[in-house]
A and B are shown apart, each in its own frame.
Chain A
Amino acid sequence: MKSLLLFLTTAILSATLGCASGVKIPPGKSAVEIAVRAEPKKGYHPENASASYVGGPGDQVSTSANPSGQYTPLDYAGLYGIVIWLEPVTGTAPAAAPQNLPLASPNQKQFDESSPRVGTIGDKLIILNRSTNTDTFYLRFDDGSIADIGTIGGGKSGAYLLKRPGAQSVVSDSLDRPIDRLFVTPSPLYKITHCNSTITFNDLAPGDYRLKSWHYRLPGSTANLTLVPNKAAKATVVIGVNALPKVP
């Protein structure tokens, strides 16, 4: 009876603590609320600089990859395609059910580098070779290395298990341009978001975590978190260059 009372008290307390920040936490688990914001370069004054300049005579001709002209400013208020993930410092994150990432080659639309497909190690890339010819596919990693995916017959599909984290392009022998861009997280505890958002992980095992982020262009801050049972921690991720070492 005493233990039942203790259990009920703990459960009620846990629920209360969980709700205090608006985060529902399963009993015995932990949570973290992460505010994501982007910070332009300190000292940058868009009204005095080129932010309003979107190209003019003599500028490089706009391409599909560069739709608004060379001088298009980076929109910090509208930054998207930000990937946030948690890496357990000890042990491993619970294995999630592998997801399928389907794509077709040739891709009918130009991929958006700022918004790649996101998956995690163990997810499956499913490639449909839409052409009538056999093609050989591979991954090109941002560090310059490559990994062979294999050969897929015309009109057929092939699967590839994602093994390496990081930004990577799906490329084929027959196409000059990459078919698609991927970002693979090392941990299944990830979310994709945009700046000025708050994301929540609410079913975490208590313990120490490393909070990391990725954006295709800008660096993001990292943080160490210690998560305790039945409580929601708070953290902030800042995307921008201000934390990089300065060169005098």
Chain B
Amino acid sequence: MAKRFSPLLLLLFATATIHAQTTRPAISGTVKVEPGKPIPGMIVYLEPADPSVQFPSPTEPALISQQGAKFTPSLLIISVGQRVDFFNDENRPIEHNVFSQSPPKQFDLGLWRPPIKKSVVFEKPGLVRLFCSIHRYMDGVIYVCPTPFFTTVSPEGTFSISGAPPGDYILKTWQRTPRYSEQSQPITVNEGKTTVVRLQMSRK
């Protein structure tokens, strides 16, 4: 009996999941800067208004390549609790190291040669600067968002975030090379509604 209904149950489950994803509340927003200035490379993310609220971390690890003595991508945005695999994918037997002395995660991954991956889980949000202790010009950045709800802002200054459950949040900005003070704005996500946000970036 159970076997007979399994495909149907699966179909119902899949439909319910798709429905949940498509009807989940979304945030849509715009970012404005001074007239005539370009939108800086930036992300926006949600932080729960109640710090005790936690969301499951993505189970899929992020990957950073070390080929060519470069961290690729040179900027990686992840969610708190997410694992990052550092892959020494050089095509020569070149040793690499990864370390950081940034407050959210201080670590030293040791030395290793290709084709091996070493992993780090980032448990705290914030900016993590990566370096190799061997190669002078090898550096990168990981920005660890407090939730999985983040997105990049388009060059036109628009963004949208989906998947966040209803509730109270603080929407925050982060610029890789800041030109403006970071913005922080309380917002409420309501079931089935799109929350519209307008951010004005300024120096003060």
Chain B residue numbers with a CB within 8 Å of A231 are: none
The residue from A49, A72, A173, A246 contacting B94, defined by CB atoms under 8 A apart: A49
Question: What 1/0 mask marks residues of chain B from 101 to 114 whose CB sits below 8 Å from any chain A CB?
Answer: 10000111111000
Contacts of B99 in A (CB 8 A): 241, 244
Nearest to A148 among chain B residues (CB) is B203
Q: Tell yes or no: A210 within 8 A of B by CB.
A: no
B27 contacts A by Cβ under 8 Å: no
Number of A interface residues at 8 Å Cβ cutoff, please give it.
39
B118 CB contacts on chain A under 8 angstroms: 247
| Residues A74 and B133 in contact, CB atoms below 8 Å apart | yes
Smallest distance from the beta carbon of A78 to chain B beta carbons, Å? 11
The reply to whether the CB of A29 lies closer than 8 angstroms to some CB of chain B is no
A244 touches B108 (CB 8 A): yes
Contact in complex: A146, B179 (CB < 8 Å): yes
A66 CB-CB contact with B under 8 Å: yes
Q: How many A-B residue pairs have CB under 8 A?
A: 109
Contacts of B203 in A (CB 8 A): 136, 138, 146, 148
B137 near A66: Cβ-Cβ < 8 Å: yes
- A140–B136 Cα distance when bound, in Å, is 23
CA distance A198 to B130 in the complex (A): 30
Complex: A27 Cα to B109 Cα, angstroms: 49
Residue of A nearest to B204 (CB): A148
A143: nearest residue on chain B (CB-CB)? B127
Q: In angstroms, how far is the closest chain B Cβ from the Cβ of A53?
A: 7
A242 touches B108 (CB 8 A): yes
Candidates A71, A140, A242; contact of B135 at CB < 8 Å: A71
**Interchain nearest-CB distance for B23 vs A (Å):** 35
A-chain residues with CB within 8 Å of residue B204 when the two chains form the complex: 148
A241 to chain B, nearest CB (A): 5
Q: A57 vs B110: C-alpha distance in the bound complex, in angstroms?
A: 28
Q: Is the CB of B70 within 8 A of A60?
A: yes
**Given A40-B133, A70-B135, A74-B133, A146:B110 Cβ within 8 A:** no
Return 29 A-B CB contacts under 8 Å, by A number. A41-B108, A41-B111, A41-B133, A43-B110, A44-B95, A44-B133, A49-B95, A50-B92, A50-B94, A51-B134, A53-B94, A60-B70, A71-B135, A72-B136, A73-B135, A73-B136, A142-B129, A144-B174, A145-B181, A146-B179, A146-B181, A148-B203, A171-B179, A217-B136, A218-B133, A241-B108, A241-B133, A244-B99, A247-B119
